[in-house]
Structure 1
Amino acid sequence: MTESEVKALMAAFGAAFRAGDADAAAACLADDFIWQLPAGTGDPRGKWLQGREATHSYLRERFAEQAAGQGVRFSDSSMEILGDVVLLRYRVRGKAEDGRAIDAMGLDVFRVADGKLLSKDAYWKYVT
């Protein structure tokens, strides 16, 4: 993919994410998309979502929580494109599922190919 194609894909995914549009976000994903979330239980790699359908379902739930004033919000993002890898840095604030306050800097590492997102690996730096 060219850099402009990668930028367009990331812009479409970002716009869908900000709008809480799970359908439009899922349209940016490859069928076998993998998302490694920054936290989870029982696995030091965090929670894994495998496949576009599993991710679509997760996003519908997550966006419903955000619409109800729960969950997290993102700001202060910057993106760097390195061929088929995209680094996205941002700030995340809100509440964790257990009610704990979150204020962290984050980094997502995306892989892209053939006009779709192949994977998203998310990392957050927590302040305690």
Structure 2
Amino acid sequence: MSAIDIVGQYGAAMAAGDMQALAETFAADAVWHQPGRSQVSGDKVGSEAIMAHLGHFMELSGGTFVLETDSVTESGDLVSATVRFRAAREGYADLDQHGVDVFRVAAGRIAEVWLISEDQQAEDAFWGHA
């Protein structure tokens, strides 16, 4: 299976809210690089930590976090996806941004993820500080 197919499985699992299928797309030692300066920022290491991180998005947004993939391109083991992500949180301006997610795939699993938001400062304000 190609890298783009693995990322496609990730996107389908995210869209369906299928946490089991989502977890299966990550390598056990995967690294998720969450940019910014909010309570969700920082590197998450290991599939369990990544799944907890994604669950935290849902918890903070009251289950409203949605990620849509616009287009996907592949170069070897790297895949880039243009995305739109949205969420609502009481007391905060709604989050509705575009971005680019970059994945590195190895041995049929997502090994590393980098996220780039169009307005990191607004995203940080939405997620808030611990």
**TM-score normalised by structure 2 residue count:** 0.76
Change (3 A) 1:76 1:39: same
The one-letter code of the counterpart of 1:14 is G
**TM-score normalised by structure 1 residue count:** 0.77
2:118 match: secondary structure = strand
Say whether the 8 Å CA contact 1:28–1:116 is kept in structure 2.
Answer: yes
Q: Spell out the pairing of 1:65-84 with structure 2 (5 A cutoff).
A: 68-70=62-64, 72-75=65-68, 77-84=70-77
What's the counterpart of residue 87 of structure 1? Answer: 80
Which of 19, 30, 47 is 1:22 aligned to? 19
Deviation of 1:97 after TM superposition, in Å, equals 8.3
What's the counterpart of residue 52 of structure 1? Answer: 47
Question: What fraction of aligned residue pairs are identical, expressed as a percent?
Answer: 28
Structure 2, unaligned runs of 5 or more:
123-130
Structure with greater contact order relative to length (CA < 8 Å, sep ≥ 6)? 2
Structure 2 distance, partners of 1:34, 1:76, is 20
Structure 1, unaligned runs of 5 or more:
none
Q: Number of paired residues?
A: 121
Change (3 A) 1:98 1:118: farther
Structure 2 distance, partners of 1:30, 1:76, is 21
Deviation of 1:9 after TM superposition, in Å, equals 0.9
